[in-house]
Amino acid sequence: MVNQKNAKDNCPRCAKGKMVTDNESGEMFCSKCGFVMSEKIQESGPEWRSFTQDEHGDRARAGAPTSLTMHDMGLATIINPVNKDASGKPLTASMKNTIERLRTWDSRSQVHEPVDRNFRQAFSELNRLKDKLAISDSVVEKAAYIYRKALDKGLVRGRSISALMASALYAACRDTETPRNLKDVEIAANIKRKDIARCYRLLVKELDLKMPVTDSVQCIARIASKIGIQEKTKRFAIKVLKIAQANEASAGKDPMGLAAAALYLSCVKNGEDKTQRDIAEAANVTEVTIRNRYKGLKDSIEI
């Protein structure tokens, strides 16, 4: 398509016509005599024909950023699946077969080490858990970092890759104070809780991880959103927990159970119709836990 807006100076040959540009062919020529002044122009727009792709498969101006969740950290290159040469022309049949063989060997050569195969399996499991648990990329990166440290120390040998990856993800959730408990990881990974807990204790001991205590206030929003508790009730429960923390009444208690009890106490105080069973199912704790923590909160806090 000829773009008249790109018309510039007069033609140097006939001095009558204007120089116009064809955006498709890249030619700049005279509108009067047809004299071609240049055959190529510099593309000023984004590089839509870039040979790199981001992590979602979309066209990108540059390659995807490095990530610990890839077995090669995103630094390896691949042969483009498009069967065209550098000028955009289709490849011949013989060259196409040669490129296909090169792609096959290039793909195989990237995972010839046992460590790479281990990482591929582990990080595939990690991406599946990320979708099921709805966690952020920063937590996933932390889990991948912990798993890489465990592999460097030889902790994976003789143990289940899936169990160790699940325990690394749980450790990352604890470290970043993301409200996900062992029960959530157990359901998402479909692995027994005792296996995940055993691997988690191994990671904490061998890697010398310092895990912060989970704040029960962060568990309030999660439980409240599941069963539709009002904002006023939620704020009162947070107030109850902060008073309990100031009085050291929450020391040694399960954060999720304590948050569930505070929510139940707040529901009773504000007259909201929520049963112990409703809150217990949302928090993945038992009704007995809620009753015991409810008594402790009521006795130690004067509201």
Edge-first strand order for the sheet with 19-22 is: 2-3, 19-22, 28-30, 36-38
Considering only CA atoms, give the Rg of the chain.
31
Structure-block tokens of residue 64: 């995807």
Whole-number pLDDT of residue 64: 62
Whole-number pLDDT of residue 248: 77
Which long-range contacts does 75-80 make (Cβ < 8 Å, 24+ apart)? 76/110, 78/103, 78/106, 78/107, 79/103, 79/106, 80/51
Whole-number pLDDT of residue 50: 45
Whole-number pLDDT of residue 51: 47
Residue with tokens 């310092």: 210
Which of helix, strand or coil describes residue 19? strand
Residue 1 to residues 26, 27, 29, 36, 123, Cα–Cα distance (Å)? 10, 11, 13, 16, 48
Cα-to-chain-centroid distance, residue 76: 20
Cα-to-chain-centroid distance, residue 137: 3
Asked whether the domain spanning 217-300 has the same topology as the one spanning 115-206, the reply is yes
194's enclosing H/E stretch is helix 193-206
- For residue 180, give the nearest of 231, 148, 219 by alpha carbon: 219
Please give the CATH architecture assigned to the domain spanning 217-300. Answer: Orthogonal Bundle (1.10)
Q: Are 102 and 113 in contact (CB under 8 A)?
A: no
Residue 32 DSSP class: T
**Cα–Cα distance between 5 and 20 in angstroms, integer?**
8
User: Per-10-residue mean pLDDT for the chain, 303 residues long?
Assistant: 56 82 77 80 54 51 67 68 80 87 77 76 90 90 92 89 93 87 89 92 91 81 85 88 81 84 89 87 87 83 63
The domains of the chain are located at 2-38, 115-206, 217-300
- Partners of residue 30 on adjacent β-strands: 19
Type of residue numbered 105: W
- For residue 279, give the nearest of 232, 237, 249 by alpha carbon: 237
Residue with tokens 């529901």: 267
Whole-number pLDDT of residue 63: 55
Q: Are 150 and 112 in contact (CB under 8 A)?
A: no
Main-chain dihedrals φ then ψ at residue 106, nearest 5 degrees: -65, -40
Whole-number pLDDT of residue 42: 62
Structure-block tokens of residue 202: 């191994």
State how beta strands 28-30 and 19-22 pair: antiparallel
Which of helix, strand or coil describes residue 18? strand
- For residue 166, give the nearest of 285, 157, 150, 284 by alpha carbon: 150
Domain 115-206: assigned CATH number: 1.10.472.10
Type of residue numbered 170: Y
Whole-number pLDDT of residue 141: 92
Whole-number pLDDT of residue 143: 92
Spell 192-208 as b/e; 16+ CB within 10 A means b: eeebbbebbebbeeeee
Cα-to-chain-centroid distance, residue 280: 29
Structure-block tokens of residue 25: 């062919």
Whole-number pLDDT of residue 33: 84
Q: Is the pTM of this model over 0.85?
A: no
